[in-house]
Amino acid sequence: MDNSCDCMPGAGIDPAKMPGHWLLARLGKRVLRPGGLGLTRKMLAALALSSNDHVVEFAPGLGVTAKMALASNPASYTAIERDPAAATQVRRWLGDGAPNQSRQVINGLAQETHLPDACGTAVYGEAMLSMHTETRKRQIIREAYRLLKPGGRYGVHELSLVPDDLPADDAERICRDVTQAIHHQAVPLTHSKWEALFRSEGFEIAHRSSAPMALLQPMRLIKDEGLWGAIRFFGRVLTNGPARRRVKEMKRAFQQHRHQLAAICLVLRKPQSPQ
């Protein structure tokens, strides 16, 4: 791990206190989504981006999904990223685009983008709503709704809890354990509660899929990072004591609750007319 690199998120933060997703990024992990690249690909397939789309991405992180979305050559692409170092990483993927295409990264907040109403045909965000309270979740979802034209699509890929009838006390304990392990608030919902949340904000469900939450499992690492990327990641973990302790802590929490943690992908649609 090269903590001297200011171009990566988390520069200057003690590994013992760093949010887990940025610690993993600094160790070389590029795919930081709970369902891995497989679920991201399902989300993008369901969004069916094309050259006619005006795309807004919330919290693109290191830009892995941005690169995949830009391969569809959308008419415009705008990323909203809070972390300046992460925004710099995403800008690497923008390229020049065609003369009539707009590609930009804006430092800002997903719940308050300051973009015009109905400026997008597709909005998506991954592994972000799970990290917020219900109030903030709703603010972000409402912002996505505001940005979309009627008929527009909103894709999400988030951490979830299973089964749907998971007792509230168990859900609270799991959220507490994961929050403590990753050093960042984690408030995932069950599949049915995720869907109910989006419906309550006016969205229709157009697509649903799920995957195991296997972020730090060896086979998922190889699938997401490639063999050499996984070897590089494990090598950095093994040679950095503080980072190794943190990764073990995260893996222990994920393993302990492996039967109650999953990943969910939903693609929502803004109705053509107000409901």
Residues facing residue 33 across a β-bridge: none
pLDDT values of the chain reduced to their tens digit, one per residue, 275 residues: 343 455 666 666 777 788 999 999 999 999 999 999 999 999 999 999 999 999 999 999 999 999 999 999 999 999 999 998 888 889 888 875 555 668 999 999 999 999 999 999 999 999 999 999 999 999 999 999 999 999 999 999 999 999 999 999 999 999 999 999 999 999 999 999 999 999 999 999 999 999 999 999 999 999 999 999 999 999 999 999 999 999 999 999 999 999 999 999 999 999 997 65
Question: Hey, what domains does the chain have and what are their CATH numbers?
Answer: 20-269 (3.40.50.150)
| Three-state DSSP class for residue 11 | coil
Could you please report the per-residue DSSP string of 148-187?
EEEEEEEEEEEEEESSTT--HHHHHHHHHHHHHHHTS---
Q: Is residue 221 a contact partner of residue 233, using CB atoms and an 8 Å limit?
A: yes
Per residue, the 3-state secondary structure of 233-274, as one string, reads HHHHHHCCHHHHHHHHHHHHHHHHCCCCEEEEEEEEECCCCC
In this prediction the pTM is: 0.92
Three-state DSSP class for residue 118: coil
Gap between the Cα atoms of 251 and 248, Å rounded: 5
Q: Are 260 and 170 in contact (CB under 8 A)?
A: yes
